[in-house]
C-alpha cells in the first residue's frame, strides 16, 4: 500500500513538472517571437544601408545559427529558393518536386562585416564536395549553393571558391552551385529560430548529423573565422581606467546589468537639447530629439542616434525574454527595447541614466561632437 502511494506521488510530481515545463516552453517561444519582432522593427527603421546574402547549406536550422551569431548580421531567415514553385511549403520542398533548396537569407551591415567574411563562414559550415545533400540530410533540397545578388557578389563568391580549390583542403572536386538569386520564400514560422525555440531537439539533430565532426576534422583550428569590424568608433579609450572612475551605480548598471530605480535617476525628466553618449567610451547613442516621456521613470527614446553603436541581445529569465540594449564599443549594458513606443518606429528604448553622459547642444563642439550640432540647427 505504501509502495502504491509513493508511486502515485512520484507520478503526480512528474505530471506537474511536465505541465510546468510545457507552459514555460510555450511562453518562452512566444517571447522569442516578440523579441524578434522588435529586432525586425529596429532594422526597418534604421538608415543603415543593409545588404542581403543568400546561402544554401543543407538543413537551414543549422545554417541559421551559423550566421545569426555574427556581429554585423542583423537578421537571418530560413526559407526556400532556386526552384520554380511559388510559395512552396516545407513538405513540397521535401518532395523534391519544386527545385527549391533549403536556404537562409542573411541581412547584414557591410560597415561591420563583409560579404567575403560571410563566404568564409559559409565554406566552414558545409561539405562543398557533396552533390547529394549535406551530412545526414540527403536529397536535392539539401544541396549547397550560393545565390548572388549582384555582379560584385558573383565575382567575390567565384574568387572565394577558386581560392578554396587552390588550398587543396578537400581531395574531391568542389560542387557547390553558384547561381543568380531569385525569389526567396520565407519558411513557415516553426522553422524560424528553431535552434532557439527547440534547443534540446536541435542539439540532438546537430549531434546526429555528423556536421560538427566533419567540419572540425576538415578545418581544425581554422574553422573559426576571425572577423575584424570595418568601422571602429571611439577605440582610443582605456576601458580599465574609465571603469575606475564610475560611481557604484554606474558600474552596477553598465557592468552588472542592474537597473537603477525609476524616477530617481539623472535624466528621466531631462528636457534639455543635446545628445547622450556612453558613460564609459563616449560613443554617441541617443538624441534629445528622439526622447519622450513614457511615464516609466527612465529616459526613453524612439530610436538610436547611431544604430551602429548599438547592439541588441536577447536576454532570457525564468519566465521572460527581453531585448537587451548594449553599446558596441564599451559593451555597456544600457537598458532594454520594447515594441510599445510611439510612431514612427513604435519602439521604446528604455535606458538607464547611469549608463549615459549628456552633452548639451552648446557644448557639442567643445567636447568633440561638433558633427551633431547641425541636428539642433534644423527647424
Catalytic residue list = 59, 350
> Are the C-beta atoms of 287 and 372 separated by less than 8 Å?
yes
Q: Is 12 helix (H, G, I), strand (E, B) or coil?
A: helix
Q: Is 370 helix (H, G, I), strand (E, B) or coil?
A: helix
How far is 358 from 131, CA to CA, in rounded Å?
A: 58
What residues contact 40, with CB distance under 8 A and at least 6 apart?
A: 75
Angle ∠(197,199,205) on CA atoms, nearest 5: 115
How far is 304 from 158, CA to CA, in rounded Å?
A: 37
Task: Report phi then psi at 286, rounded to 5.
Answer: -140, 160
Nearest to 329 by CA among 247, 230, 237, 226: 237
Neighbours of 91 (CB within 10 A): 8
* Cell representation of residue 21: 515545463
How far is 270 from 349, CA to CA, in rounded Å?
A: 16
Amino acid at each position: 500500500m505504501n509502495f502504491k502511494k509513493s508511486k502515485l506521488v512520484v507520478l503526480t510530481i512528474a505530471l506537474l513538472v511536465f505541465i510546468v515545463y510545457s507552459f514555460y516552453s510555450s511562453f518562452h517561444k512566444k517571447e522569442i517571437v516578440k523579441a524578434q519582432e522588435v529586432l525586425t522593427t529596429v532594422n526597418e527603421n534604421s538608415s543603415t544601408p543593409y545588404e542581403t546574402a543568400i546561402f544554401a547549406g543543407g538543413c537551414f536550422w543549422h545554417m541559421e545559427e551559423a550566421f545569426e551569431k555574427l556581429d554585423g548580421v542583423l537578421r537571418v531567415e530560413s526559407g526556400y529558393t532556386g526552384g520554380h514553385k511559388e510559395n512552396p511549403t516545407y513538405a513540397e520542398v521535401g518532395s523534391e518536386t519544386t527545385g527549391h533548396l533549403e536556404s537562409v537569407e542573411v541581412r547584414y551591415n557591410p560597415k561591420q562585416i563583409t560579404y567575403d567574411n560571410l563566404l568564409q563562414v559559409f565554406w566552414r559550415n558545409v561539405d562543398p564536395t557533396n552533390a547529394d545533400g549535406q551530412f545526414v540530410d540527403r536529397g536535392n533540397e539539401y544541396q549547397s549553393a550560393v545565390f548572388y545578388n549582384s555582379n560584385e557578389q558573383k565575382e567575390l563568391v567565384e574568387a572565394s571558391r577558386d581560392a578554396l580549390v587552390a588550398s587543396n583542403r578537400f581531395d574531391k572536386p568542389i560542387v557547390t552551385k553558384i547561381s543568380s538569386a531569385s525569389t526567396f520564400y520565407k519558411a513557415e514560422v516553426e522553422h524560424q529560430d528553431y535552434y532557439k525555440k527547440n534547443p534540446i531537439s536541435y542539439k540532438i539533430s546537430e549531434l546526429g548529423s555528423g556536421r560538427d565532426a566533419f567540419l572540425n576534422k576538415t578545418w581544425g583550428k581554422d574553422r573559426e573565422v576571425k572577423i575584424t569590424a570595418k568601422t571602429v568608433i571611439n577605440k582610443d579609450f582605456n576601458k580599465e581606467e574609465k571603469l575606475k572612475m564610475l560611481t557604484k551605480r554606474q558600474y552596477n548598471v553598465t557592468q552588472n546589468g542592474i537597473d537603477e530605480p525609476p524616477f530617481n535617476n539623472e535624466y528621466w525628466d531631462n528636457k534639455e537639447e543635446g545628445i547622450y553618449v556612453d558613460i564609459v567610451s563616449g560613443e554617441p547613442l541617443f538624441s534629445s530629439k528622439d526622447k519622450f516621456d513614457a511615464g516609466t521613470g527612465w529616459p526613453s527614446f524612439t530610436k538610436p542616434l547611431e544604430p551602429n553603436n548599438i547592439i541588441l541581445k536577447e536576454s532570457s529569465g525564468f519566465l521572460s525574454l527581453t531585448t537587451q540594449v548594449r553599446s558596441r564599443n564599451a559593451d555597456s549594458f544600457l537598458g532594454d527595447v520594447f515594441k510599445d513606443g510611439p510612431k514612427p518606429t513604435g519602439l521604446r528604448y528604455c535606458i538607464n541614466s547611469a549608463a549615459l553622459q549628456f552633452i548639451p547642444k552648446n557644448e557639442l563642439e567643445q567636447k568633440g561632437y561638433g558633427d551633431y550640432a547641425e541636428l539642433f540647427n534644423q527647424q
